[in-house]
């Protein structure tokens, strides 16, 4: 009898173990939510989490700045209403009294990485040098081509940026979020004792190693992100098996500490509806055309806002191959029907988008309405003028996970194909993104005008007449072809205050450290932000702000 009981007990134990094993396998095969998960502050993004380096081409394509906005904050922060907010908790920047082409930078004496190492001018020098060698660093920071030199004494808290003649007005657009990264970490992983010296030496082998580590040290698939020190209010605590990141407080941050001490950042593909049901979601940046109601993100429990961002789906055109001449690039523009693309994207996504032909300023800029005629001229569909491109084969690269990109390329293929221009879609993975001018002739991505259009001196801060002049110049060169605006949908749980989309690359992440959960809900009429200070710079600890928020757009 005892033997029988023992066998039954053993069987029961084995069955229980099997059940646990099966449950474990089920959870592994359904990443995104643990059935027994504890409530958490979750933040869902519409892109893959690939890198925290927003200065690489892959970082630009995958919206890395949405991850790194408060891990590696920039010298200026893109706030709402086209503002550039000074970030004195990191660095102060002032034009020299002797020359507007020289910008003097003072790094906050208390600015420190999460590993205790000080932020130094070496980190800014690395950003600049990386921008000059996209072949080695995989960089995509074109505005630095306006810079002649960065004067930095290794280890110093002071440095100067010297612009080329006629440039310097756009210094606030340099060193943006996710591009100023720890030189000491990159140099150490490149096995170089002196990173700054290696940058200045011109040694190709040393530069190659630095370039490799400047990319791989921040790739989430290659490096444990918790081992990489950050300079902002948050650091990466861990990368979970399901791919999501857990952010925690950087205790060495000298500014105001974040209100939320832990934020879980979820990638594209996470089960947003299930996260909400399991009380593991507080903020969601929903893919264009996504239905928040279908995800359970609706009033009164959630605050949902739908806006046209300041970003535009844009073609970047190589100056090599079939589009090397200005005439050929203009011909490509003429055979593209932006209005037909807008209709197709709106139908595909369910979100209304608009055609735009402006390159210097975005759809949300205060002067956009006064440039309607310019935009219409730049988007004129005139296939009969595409003759210089007839018989040519054009490859358009794009990130394959962004479904609307294929819709856009298909429309271009149809309209240009009708006049004898062969267009080939070249979808790319984030892990094999390729290089413009080598793997494809044109690159389709989504971007703001900040840090772009390096040929123009004024940018978004110019007066109307200046912007009109710059728009004409860029349209004539046609190195970029704007297509349609980006529609954005953001949802936040009703009790989460200060969630506000800046309309730019950082999205709602720009003031992540100001998000706070309160007992009182956000008034529905005030969504997405309840407090006036939600629009203020997230900075606000030590250091005084050397200048007020810089707002773009002046009538003349």
Span 220-238, pLDDT tens digits? 999 999 999 999 999 999 9
Q: Is 95 exposed, middle or buried (0-12, 13-18, 19+ CB in 10 A)?
A: middle
Angstrom distance (rounded) from CA 453 to CA 358: 11
pLDDT at 532 over 50: no
Judge residue 539's burial from the number of C-beta atoms within 10 Å of its C-beta, 0-12 exposed, 13-18 middle, 19 or more buried: buried
First to last CA, the chain: 99
Average pLDDT over residues 9-27: 41
3-state secondary structure of 61: helix
Q: Which is more confident, 287 or 466?
A: 466
Packing angle, helices 338-349 and 403-417, rounded to 10: 150
Check residue 542 and give its pLDDT.
Answer: 40
The residue-averaged pLDDT of 513-534 equals: 75
What does 489-521 look like in DSSP terms, one character per residue? EEEEETTEE-----SSTTGGGGGGGG-EE-SSP
Take residue 22 and report the two structure tokens written for it: 């099966």
Least confident interval from 194-198, 281-285, 300-304, 457-461: 457-461
The whole-number pLDDT of residue 350 equals 85
Confidence at residue 556, expressed as pLDDT on a 0 to 100 scale: 39
Q: Which CATH number does 42-308+488-517 carry?
A: 3.40.190.10
Mean pLDDT on 182-199: 96
Whether pLDDT at 207 is above 60 = yes
Q: How far is CA 444 from the centre of its chain?
A: 15
Rounded Cα distance between 121 and 151, Å, is 9
Both structure tokens of 456: 């123009």
Q: What are phi and psi of 287, to 5 degrees?
A: -55, 145
Length of the chain: 556
Instruction: Considering only residues 115 and 11, tell me which one the structure prediction assigns the higher pLDDT.
Output: 115
Structure tokens at 80: 């709402």
- Does 183 score more than 90 pLDDT? yes
Q: Is residue 153 predicted with pLDDT exceeding 60? A: yes
For 35-41, the CB contacts below 8 A with 24+ separation are 35/278, 37/278, 37/280, 39/278, 39/279, 39/280, 40/262, 40/264, 40/279, 40/280, 41/260, 41/262, 41/263, 41/264, 41/282, 41/515, 41/517
Query: Over 80: is that where the pLDDT of 8 sits?
Result: no
Average pLDDT in the 530-548 region? 46
Per-residue pLDDT averaged across 512-520, rounded?
97
3-state secondary structure of 114: coil
279 sits in the region (left: phi over 0; alpha: psi -120 to 50; else beta) called left
SS (H, E, C) 390-432: CCCEEEEEEECCCHHHHHHHHHHHHHHHCCCCEEEEEEEECCE
Q: Would the pLDDT of 73 be above 60?
A: yes
Is the preceding omega at residue 412 within 30 degrees of 0, hence cis?
A: no
**Residue 384 in this model has a pLDDT that exceeds 50:** yes
Burial level of 165, CB count in 10 A (0-12/13-18/19+)? exposed
Measured distance CA(307)–CA(503) in Å, rounded = 8
Q: Which helix (H) or strand (E) covers residue 469, if one does?
A: helix 464-477
Average pLDDT estimate for 308-335: 95
What span, in angstroms and rounded, lies between the C-alpha atoms of 399 and 445? 8
Is the confidence at residue 257, as pLDDT, over 60? yes
Q: Is the pLDDT of residue 539 over 90?
A: no
| Per-residue pLDDT, 66 | 98
**Mean of pLDDT values over 309-335:** 96
Separation between Cα atoms, residue 83 and residue 132, nearest integer Å:
27
| Mean pLDDT, range 53-78, rounded to an integer | 97
Among residues 542, 493, 548, 553, the alpha carbon closest in space to that of 517 is found at 493
Domain topology for 312-485: Dipeptide-binding Protein; domain 3 (3.10.105)
Alpha carbon 542 to its chain's center: 27
Mean pLDDT of 518-545: 59
Rounded Cα distance, 255 and 257, in Å: 6
pLDDT tens digit sequence for 103-147: 999 999 999 999 999 999 999 999 999 999 999 999 999 999 999
What string of DSSP letters covers 246-258?
EEEE-TT--SPPP
Q: How confident is the model at residue 550 (pLDDT cuts 50, 70, 90)?
A: low
How many CB atoms are located within 10 Å of the residue 476 CB? 10
Burial of residue 280 (number of CB atoms within 10 Å: 0-12, 13-18, 19+): buried
- Confidence band (pLDDT; 50, 70, 90) for 459? confident
Q: Residue 528 — φ and ψ, nearest 5°?
A: -95, -5
Distance of CA 197 to the CA centre of its chain: 30
Asked if residue 528 has a cis previous peptide bond (ω within 30° of 0), the answer is yes
Residue 553's pLDDT is: 47
What pLDDT is stored for residue 528 in this prediction?
Answer: 52
Asked if residue 321 has pLDDT above 70, the reply is yes
Residue-level pLDDT at 312: 96
pLDDT tier at 7, thresholds 50, 70, 90: very low
Nearest CA-CA partner of 421 in 433, 413, 432, 429? 413
- Give the whole-number percent of the chain exceeding pLDDT 70: 88
Residue 341 pLDDT greater than 50, yes or no: yes
User: What single DSSP character describes residue 270?
Assistant: S
> Average pLDDT in the 331-337 region?
98
- Please give the structure tokens belonging to residue 135: 């072949």
- Domain range summary for the chain, segments of one domain joined by +: 42-308+488-517, 312-485
The more confident residue out of 286 and 4 is 286
How far, CA to CA in Å, does 238 sit from each of 205, 228, 398, 513?
A: 32, 11, 30, 18
Q: Read off the pLDDT of each residue in 527-536 and give the average, rounded to a whole number.
A: 48
Q: Is the pLDDT of residue 5 over 50?
A: no
SS3 (DSSP) at 336 = coil
Q: Which residues 6+ apart lie within 8 Å of 37 measured at CB?
A: 278, 280
Mean pLDDT, the chain, as a whole number? 89
CA angle 76, 485, 172 (to 5 degrees): 15
The SS3 call for residue 133 is: coil
Residues 6+ apart with CB under 8 A from 237: 226, 246, 247, 248, 262
Q: Encoding tokens for residue 171?
A: 């210094």
**Among the ranges 23-27, 75-79, 386-390, 422-426, which has the highest mean pLDDT value?**
422-426
Average pLDDT over residues 17-39: 51
Give dist(CA 202, CA 206) in Å, integer.
8
pLDDT for 81: 75
């Amino acid at each position: 009898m005892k033997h029988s009981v023992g066998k039954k007990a053993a069987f029961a134990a084995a069955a229980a173990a099997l059940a646990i094993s099966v449950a474990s396998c089920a959870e592994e095969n359904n990443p995104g939510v643990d059935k027994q998960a504890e409530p958490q502050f979750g933040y869902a993004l519409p892109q893959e989490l690939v890198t925290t380096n927003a200065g690489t081409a892959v970082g630009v394509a995958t919206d890395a700045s949405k991850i790194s906005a408060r891990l590696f904050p920039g010298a200026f922060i893109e706030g709402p209403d086209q503002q550039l907010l000074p970030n004195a908790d990191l660095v102060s920047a002032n034009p020299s009294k002797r020359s507007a082409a020289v910008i003097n930078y003072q790094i906050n004496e208390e600015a420190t990485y999460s590993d205790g190492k000080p932020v130094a001018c070496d980190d800014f020098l690395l950003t600049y040098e990386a921008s000059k060698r996209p072949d080695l660093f995989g960089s995509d920071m074109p505005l630095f081509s306006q810079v002649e030199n960065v004067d930095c004494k290794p280890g110093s808290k002071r440095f100067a940026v010297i612009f080329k003649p006629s440039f310097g007005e756009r210094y606030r657009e340099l060193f943006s979020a996710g591009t100023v990264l720890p030189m000491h970490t990159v140099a150490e992983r490149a096995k170089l004792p002196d990173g700054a010296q290696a940058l200045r030496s011109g040694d190709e082998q040393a530069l190659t190693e630095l370039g490799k580590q400047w990319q791989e040290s921040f790739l989430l698939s290659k490096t444990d992100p918790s081992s990489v020190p950050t300079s902002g209010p948050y650091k990466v605590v861990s990368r979970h098996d399901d791919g999501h990141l857990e952010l925690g407080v950087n205790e060495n941050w000298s500014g105001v500490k974040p209100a939320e001490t832990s934020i879980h950042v979820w990638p594209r593909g996470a089960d947003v509806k299930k996260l909400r049901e399991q009380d593991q979601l507080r903020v969601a940046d929903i893919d264009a055309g996504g239905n928040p109601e279908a995800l359970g993100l609706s009033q009164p429990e959630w605050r949902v806002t739908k806006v046209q961002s300041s970003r535009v789906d844009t073609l970047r055109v190589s100056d090599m191959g079939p589009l090397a001449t200005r005439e050929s690039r203009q011909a490509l523009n003429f055979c593209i029907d932006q209005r037909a693309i807008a209709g197709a994207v709106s139908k595909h996504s369910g979100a209304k988008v608009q055609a735009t032909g402006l390159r210097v300023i975005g759809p949300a800029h205060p002067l956009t309405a006064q440039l309607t005629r310019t935009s219409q001229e730049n988007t004129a569909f005139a296939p009969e003028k595409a003759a210089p491109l007839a018989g040519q084969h054009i490859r358009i690269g794009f990130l394959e996970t962004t479904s609307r990109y294929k819709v856009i390329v298909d429309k271009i293929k149809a309209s240009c194909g009708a006049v004898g221009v062969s267009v080939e879609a070249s979808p790319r993975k984030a892990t094999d993104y390729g290089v413009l001018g080598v793997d494809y002739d044109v690159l389709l991505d989504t971007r703001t005008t900040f840090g772009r259009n390096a040929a123009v001196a004024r940018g978004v801060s110019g007066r109307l007449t200046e912007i009109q002049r710059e728009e004409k110049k860029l349209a004539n060169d046609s190195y970029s072809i704007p297509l349609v605006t980006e529609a954005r949908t953001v949802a936040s749980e009703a009790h989460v205050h200060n969630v506000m989309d800046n309309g730019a690359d950082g999205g709602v992440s720009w003031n992540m450290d100001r998000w706070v959960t309160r007992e009182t809900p956000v008034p529905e009429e005030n969504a997405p932000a309840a407090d006036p200070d939600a629009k203020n710079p997230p900075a606000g600890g030590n250091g005084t702000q050397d200048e007020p928020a810089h707002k773009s757009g002046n009538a003349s």
